[in-house]
Structure 1
Amino acid sequence: MDKKIMIGLVIGSIMIVSGITLSGYPAPRGTDVSIKSAALVQNEISLTLIPGTQPGKPQVLLAAYNDNPYSFGSGIGYGYSTDGGATWTTGNLPFPFNPLTGMNMDQEFDPTATSDTLGNLYIGHIASEIGGSSGLYVHKSTNGGGTWLSPVTVALDGPPSGDPDPLYRFNDRCQMTADTFSGSPYTNNIYITWIKDRGFHMPQPWSDVYFSYSTNQGVSFSSAVRINDIGHDMGNMPIPAVAPNGTVYVVWMDYNVTSGGNGTIYLDKSFDGGVTWGTDQFVAQINLPPLRLNTAAGFTDVLAKGGTPIAVSPTNSSELYIVYAADPDGNGTDEADIFFIKSTDGGSSWSSPLRVNDDSTKNDQFLPWMDVKSDGTIDIAWYDRRNDVNDSLWDVYFAKSTDGGSSFSQNIQLNDISFPTPTNLWMGEYLGLAVDSNYAFVAFTSSLTDVVTGDVYFDKVPNSLSTVYVDDDYNASTPGWQIDHFDTIQGAIDAVDVNGTVIVYNGTYTENIVVNKSITLQAGSNPVIDGNGTGDVIYISADWVTINGFTIQNSGTNWGDAGIEIATSNQCNVSRNNISTSNAGIVLSSSNNNVVLNNSIINNQYGIVGSSSSNNTISGNTINSNNYGDGIYLSSSSNNTISHNTITSNNAAGIYFDPSCNYNTISGNNISSNDDGIDIYGSVSNNYNTLSGNTIWNNSGYGIYFDWSRSNTISNNTISSNNYDGIWLFGSDNTTVFGNNILSNNEDGIYIEESDNNNVSDNIISNNGWRGIYIEESDNNTVSDNTIGNNSVYGVYIYSSIYNTLTGNTLTYNFDGIRLGLSNHITITNNTIANSNYSGIWVSSSSTNNTITNNTISHNRYGVQFSDSNHSTIANNSISNSSWYGMIFDNSNNNTVSGNTISNNGWRGLHLYSSSDGNLIYNNYFNNTNNAYDDGNNTWNITKTSGTNIINGSYLGGNFWSDYAGSDTNGDGLGDTDLPYNCSGNIANGGDWHPLVTPSTPSIDYITITFGTENEIPPGNMSTGFTFTMYATAFNT
């Protein structure tokens, strides 16, 4: 297993999770359970484990502790658990034999525990003999703590000659760890550190840092080596740690300080399994205030001097962590806090201290301990007196970091009930902390049941808090309080693990919540989160966050404040929430691949706001009555899907795109009673967006408005009853408008202005207040296969535009079917135009070089009308049943009219007046009561030319006239008499010199039949196969 045992001084008591479970809740932290409760003291606990297969249940948990260290004969106690700490089996280690005196040692202390990957457990400790020797010993168990082998001597010292204080020449303060990294060249090496005191009662006591190692699972240990440099020889509690690559680090506190503070942290390291060591590296200089007990006699010092635990990242051998207690201001006005520092270069440089405890200042925090689990989570536990203003009662607190020590979680209290300082004023020098992949296990001293000396307790905290619960009715009596049960949502978010779930029950939570990790925030019933009018109610700054089922209200009113803000975060899901009375319902800022689903976003200033956010899905939401801005607003955002939302009664647009929104899809939405339905707007293009299958109706402005946008698609929408135009394209090119129903809008169905190369096809455009389609100053557009009817003014009006094409459309019951004004090179072909109140096609206002071909134009007042328009071609059209004129030209010159069938029109077939000159009219079919009128100088025929004419004759010349009374004398299909045809004088100047006539068929008076003489018909019957020849001659008399 990849683990490192970090050892630090801790005051306290030991707690055990009882496993008590409340219905509907996960197993809480439980009631404190004693590992060992006996007369006199149990303290200084070291904890290790052998990992198991079940969460929260290591194969073995081992706690080693001082057991009555203040009486001669005291020793090392231990307890082991195989059920995750619910129950413990305890015992005591034997006293080692001292070969220097031939007697057993009579006092043991400073236990340290570790384990290897082979399932072995180890306990190291100091042992001494009153009056002389002291030594360092390691015990080993190969059966999970059930039995222990005889101790192995690591170091043994007797009183040296010449020492002025021989009784106190001893080994002290040991700590131990094992290399458990599979990739290390020294896997399962055991490393142990300690100090040797020299002249403990001298005016200047000295203590050096020593190190030893075992390469054979504790069978023997190397000779002890001093690793501290000269001058750094007032060391205290050296602590070892192992890196994944096998590097061994040792950290200690040195009290030989020449300037500033009263302690210096040093680091040394070995790259060869502890054989050789380098030069001490300075880490930090800190202030170590005394720990004080407030008694009736005043403040009295409590004996609690801790170490500086070190840990190494399980994935980076150069990333080191140290935790320590220090007075932050150095003058005693602020009592000790817990600080964390980090190195990413193997200890050469260190970060600024980060305060781990999150209480207000001037509270005591002491004796921290640290461990790191395999996923890099850093766990820290310590003693804490924040809950007693009189500085008498103690608690044990815990925090963790999931971001490599950049920040730490909200602190949680582990013990159930605060406990007093032991009256013997001895808290020990460390507590125990060990981790597996699921839990942090903590062992500590508590004087709750033994106020004189304290007992050993155990507790555990889920390292993977996969589910945490919130209820505003929870309090300190709730099992799991501040562990997995909280009364604030933020507290639960801080506590839950990455990818965990926070379930929030009914209540109103006045909070501004920050979600900075991947979690699910799930409403358990109908909780309300109220932002109290400031900032974001919920601010999401992590990927893979889910927010589901809340009522969220009352954000701040500044731009950017929101019910929910997703900031630089991806793959989040916000669904089934009710969001109201906020500046914006939801804000997406530089966030991608998120889902906003089935929310009710009502009565905010803005509905949903997205900026620089792409590949998001906004679907199934109700976005209503947002009273300042848009239902949905996007800027610089692409590839988003906005679908099946109901967007109504917003003060601005239902959906609004600002510049640079590309490749978005807006589909299946119901958009009504807003200002505009959809605005795609901006001075920078919004390109390649698709608007499909939406119902856009009853908006007070436009149904859809595109401004300076390119290559967008508007298809299969129903756009109706909007106060302005159904669709307005302004400065927008290459747009496809396809398959839409554009109905009953108050102004135009489609308005295209300064927009080129658009394609409008297969739409139904009817009952609009002005025009079905209006095209102004727009070129190269195609309008095809649309059904355009019952529009109050024009079916299609093209103004000041060139090179547009209208083809295949059906235009009925409009005031005018098609009108051109100041427009050139327009092609109008293959359309059906009927039942217009005025003109089927009206070409006006100096429109030139237009082409009108192959249209069917019927039952209008005027079939085709030209006003002041020249140089156009009107060919191959069917123009019939106009109530007034089939065609009328007013001051229109040099146009060509050919190949048209102009029939059954009420007043005239073709009427030219008011200086309409130079027009060429030939090869048309006129069959009207009054076929033509012309008071100008126009040409009614071309020179006789071979070719099939309109009545299938062999020559082109003039026109077919239903009332031409002349005859074709030479059979060429052109009239030869009564020329020029002038429609009974209605053609004032000239007329048709080659009127088309149907060639006459010669009559037959009689037929003579003769037979050839060689094959006369024989008399009688003829047999099959008989042949003969017959000759017939027709005679015309």
Structure 2
Amino acid sequence: MIDVIPRISRSLNYRIASVIPSGRNERGIARKQVITANAQVTSDPTNQPQNEPTVAIDPVDNSRVAAGANDYRLVAQGHDAWLGFYTSKDNGTTWIDSLLPGYPGGTIAPLSGYTTGSDPAIAFDLNGRLYYSGIVFVRQSSGAGIDGTVFAAHSTDNGTNWVETIVALGSNTRRGSVFNDKPYIAIDTIANSAFKGRIYLSWTGFVNTNPGVILFSESSDGGSTFSSPTTISNIPADEMQGSVPSVGPNGILYVTWEDTTSNHIMISKSTNGGTGFSAPIAVATVIPLPATLPNSSFRESSFPTLAVDPVNGTVFIGWDDYRNGNSDIFLTRSTDRAATFSGPVKLNDDTTTNDQFFPWIQSVSGKIAAVWYDRRLDPGNHNMDIFYSESINQGLAWSPNVRLSSVSSNPDCCGFLGQFIGDYIGMALTSSTARAVWLDTRNGNQDIFTERYPPLPKVSITGIALPRNIMYNQISSKPLNATIIVKNDAPYDETITVAFSLQNITGTIFLSVNQTAPPLSSATVNLTFTVQTQNLPRGSYTMIAHVFPVKGQTDISNNTMTSLLQVHIPGDINGDGVVNIIDLVAVGSHFGARRGDPNYLPAADLNNDGVIDIIDLSIVGSTFGRTG
């Protein structure tokens, strides 16, 4: 069936935002969410939804990451969804938002004239040239789409400028001729391939009222032109949907999809750059998911995801399946160029009967990795997280599942009354890094978030703990101990250095000292720095704690923290510059109190020995009347 993305009206989104509190993350519980990990890709000031993300890493410069998504920000201007483009130049730490040209109200481009864009897919070629595919269509008042048109766009300047090419035009009446749906892109990046650099697109074509067929087109001139669409699937009576292409060694092109009539995962291959394809074969039988998963109302599917090891050619196909009475992630593999496939292996290692769905897989030489939505952490089988697993022996054994999302997401949140969260998520993979992108609702809106695995090294200061912030000069007292709390946020053991300094309001430094410590992975360490105040002038001071970035760290936003310290003349408890009856009363009213007692006032413990006693009273008495 045609799976156009749903629309959302501006008034509906505003109404939903008013009844679903920002940060709602559990059913019936409203609380403010604080982003403590993961990076937010989208930063839409209109707070409209973004979903169905895709991501790619530049093979020339791995710090450059590009992503796409269905982006509804134009709804705030009375329009519909369009194709969002997001780019990062710092390993996915910070992002810049934009839309592909041709959106309603924008400058004229080849995609102009369509109301809606969706089904994003993004990829780089070997030279760092960026490609983006999807569909554009015209939304009718009923919500249905006509003119479903496949396009491909490319950019040589990281998305500043785009060249857009129409690949397959749709019709001008709903299913009256052709509606093209769910394209995905692959680029031949195999160094020794005779077809290196060729761009491939596969999608579903709906002709009149016939079931969908899998169509294909290729470009051998960098995306400037594409071949006429050809049909890959060969069972006209069956409905085909959810195709994904991928390229393996020697430039062999594979395309997989689901036959939703017979409930089979299918595959076909081309050994001649897409000129011809083998007869499709059934890879596995699918036990389809129910129309909606328990406790949810969003649409889902068992559409496959495909990856090929670029060196040894192992073909991997993953999908979600209901054979165990709940949705699990399964994977099959072929070591003979898709002639035969292994039995399905379950990737999620939880012991619950909660659901996992929407997998995405990628492969590099010697590694296959997978991500998916996962509800194992919610006893109610409702809220979602992102989990990850990988294999370094061609899929024979898999690593324990790792949670990538730091906050669970509520699919009922934000804009669609729980009925749409996109149809897939995305992941990019290099030899050292996997990067996932997903829909996330921690901010009370459908946003795109990202995380890499393993995470970038990161250490940060999470707090400065002070027993007091008023001290005195010119008297004998115990020193002030400042505890600096440092968190190692990554799964690596590190050796850190923390610099601690004390300076006055003019910037004069009175203390500067460093300490080192070896925090274990994901651990917190406390470092104590001693501050003597006897010889400090009266005044205001700033304590500055800074943890030096560790090797490979790019996010230093939380590496420095400050705290204030007041140094008074002896006996001036309230800091008004004179020792008088007010200070004497302060000591007297708290006399006998010890640190930890409800009546303990740190400023009245002038010598900082933990008890307010005759010594403190005598200090006030001996300095009574003094000013300074």
TM-score relative to the length of structure 1: 0.39
Give the secondary-structure state (helix, strand or coil) at the position aligned to 1:228.
Answer: coil
Tell me the residue number matched to 2:374.
Answer: 384
Tell me the residue number matched to 1:157.
Answer: 170
* Structure 1 position 369, deviation (Å): 0.4
Tell me the residue number matched to 2:343.
Answer: 352
Give the secondary-structure state (helix, strand or coil) at the position aligned to 1:245.
Answer: helix
Give the secondary-structure state (helix, strand or coil) at the position aligned to 1:170.
Answer: strand
**Structure 2 gaps, min length 5:** 6-35, 141-145, 458-485, 494-518, 524-628
Mapped contact 1:438–1:463 kept (Cα < 8 A): no
Please say if 1:180 is aligned against 2:189: yes
Give the secondary-structure state (helix, strand or coil) at the position aligned to 1:127.
Answer: strand
1:49 maps to a residue whose letter is: I
* Aligned counterparts of 1:307 and 1:153: Cα–Cα separation in 2: 25
Please say if 1:462 is aligned against 2:454: yes
Give the secondary-structure state (helix, strand or coil) at the position aligned to 1:104.
Answer: coil
Please say if 1:81 is aligned against 2:63: no
Please say if 1:47 is aligned against 2:55: yes
Mapped contact 1:67–1:75 kept (Cα < 8 A): yes
* Structure 1 position 286, deviation (Å): 1.0
Q: Spell out, residue by residue over 1:126-162, the C-alpha distance to the aligned partner (whole angstroms, 9 max, x if none).
A: 001235422111111101222222x1010002147xx
**Structure 1 gaps, min length 5:** 1-8, 10-28, 258-262, 466-476, 486-501, 507-1037
Mapped contact 1:266–1:282 kept (Cα < 8 A): yes
Mapped contact 1:174–1:238 kept (Cα < 8 A): yes
Matching residue within 434, 445, 452 for 2:439: 445
* Structure 1 residues 356 and 348, CA gap change in structure 2 (3 angstroms): same
Please say if 1:210 is aligned against 2:215: yes
Tell me the residue number matched to 2:474.
Answer: none
* Aligned counterparts of 1:69 and 1:355: Cα–Cα separation in 2: 38
* Structure 1 residues 281 and 232, CA gap change in structure 2 (3 angstroms): farther
Tell me the residue number matched to 2:321.
Answer: 326
Aligned pairs (5 A) from 1:441-840: 441-451=435-445, 454-462=446-454, 480=489
Aligned pairs (5 A) from 1:814-893: none
Matching residue within 234, 244, 247 for 1:242: 247
Tell me the residue number matched to 1:302.
Answer: 298
* Aligned counterparts of 1:430 and 1:293: Cα–Cα separation in 2: 15
Tell me the residue number matched to 2:123.
Answer: 114
Give the secondary-structure state (helix, strand or coil) at the position aligned to 2:384.
Answer: strand
Q: Spell out, residue by residue over 1:16-66, the C-alpha distance to the aligned partner (whole angstroms, 9 max, x if none).
A: xxxxxxxxxxxxx9344343344332111111121356xxxx142100110
* Structure 1 residues 182 and 446, CA gap change in structure 2 (3 angstroms): same
Mapped contact 2:246–2:254 kept (Cα < 8 A): yes
Please say if 1:395 is aligned against 2:391: no
Give the secondary-structure state (helix, strand or coil) at the position aligned to 1:328.
Answer: coil
Matching residue within 151, 160, 174 for 1:137: 151
Mapped contact 1:335–1:361 kept (Cα < 8 A): no
Tell me the residue number matched to 1:93.
Answer: 100
Please say if 1:287 is aligned against 2:287: yes
* Aligned counterparts of 1:253 and 1:351: Cα–Cα separation in 2: 18
* Structure 1 residues 386 and 78, CA gap change in structure 2 (3 angstroms): same
Mapped contact 2:370–2:389 kept (Cα < 8 A): yes
* Aligned counterparts of 2:281 and 2:122: Cα–Cα separation in 1: 27
* Structure 1 position 242, deviation (Å): 0.3
* Aligned counterparts of 1:339 and 1:130: Cα–Cα separation in 2: 35
Mapped contact 1:42–1:456 kept (Cα < 8 A): yes
Mapped contact 2:213–2:236 kept (Cα < 8 A): no
* Structure 1 residues 278 and 395, CA gap change in structure 2 (3 angstroms): same
* Aligned counterparts of 2:424 and 2:488: Cα–Cα separation in 1: 27
Mapped contact 2:211–2:236 kept (Cα < 8 A): no
* Structure 1 residues 31 and 242, CA gap change in structure 2 (3 angstroms): closer
* Structure 1 position 82, deviation (Å): 0.8
Higher relative contact order (CA 8 A, sep 6+): 2
* Structure 1 residues 304 and 288, CA gap change in structure 2 (3 angstroms): same
* Structure 1 residues 193 and 321, CA gap change in structure 2 (3 angstroms): same
Matching residue within 207, 222, 225 for 1:220: 225
Give the secondary-structure state (helix, strand or coil) at the position aligned to 2:194.
Answer: coil
Tell me the residue number matched to 2:32.
Answer: none
* Structure 1 position 184, deviation (Å): 0.4
Tell me the residue number matched to 1:367.
Answer: 358
* Structure 1 position 383, deviation (Å): 0.3
Tell me the residue number matched to 1:419.
Answer: 409
Give the secondary-structure state (helix, strand or coil) at the position aligned to 1:420.
Answer: coil
* Structure 1 residues 442 and 371, CA gap change in structure 2 (3 angstroms): same
Tell me the residue number matched to 1:62.
Answer: 66
Mapped contact 1:32–1:415 kept (Cα < 8 A): no
Tell me the residue number matched to 1:698.
Answer: none
Mapped contact 1:441–1:460 kept (Cα < 8 A): yes
* Structure 1 position 168, deviation (Å): 8.7
1:460 maps to a residue whose letter is: R
* Structure 1 position 342, deviation (Å): 0.6
* Structure 1 position 460, deviation (Å): 0.7
1:304 maps to a residue whose letter is: E
1:290 maps to a residue whose letter is: P
* Structure 1 position 448, deviation (Å): 1.4
2:50 maps to a residue whose letter is: Q
Tell me the residue number matched to 2:326.
Answer: 335
Mapped contact 1:290–1:302 kept (Cα < 8 A): no
* Structure 1 residues 412 and 456, CA gap change in structure 2 (3 angstroms): same
| Residues matched between the structures, number | 424
1:223 maps to a residue whose letter is: S
1:61 maps to a residue whose letter is: V
1:420 maps to a residue whose letter is: N
Tell me the residue number matched to 1:559.
Answer: none
Mapped contact 1:69–1:108 kept (Cα < 8 A): no
Tell me the residue number matched to 2:257.
Answer: 252
TM-score relative to the length of structure 2: 0.63
* Structure 1 residues 168 and 80, CA gap change in structure 2 (3 angstroms): farther
2:308 maps to a residue whose letter is: V
Tell me the residue number matched to 1:430.
Answer: 424
* Structure 1 position 380, deviation (Å): 0.5
Tell me the residue number matched to 2:268.
Answer: 268
Q: Spell out, residue by residue over 1:818-839, the C-alpha distance to the aligned partner (whole angstroms, 9 max, x if none).
A: xxxxxxxxxxxxxxxxxxxxxx
* Aligned counterparts of 2:332 and 2:432: Cα–Cα separation in 1: 25
Tell me the residue number matched to 1:147.
Answer: 161
Matching residue within 105, 122, 126 for 2:114: 105
* Structure 1 position 167, deviation (Å): 6.4
* Structure 1 position 96, deviation (Å): 7.5
2:436 maps to a residue whose letter is: V
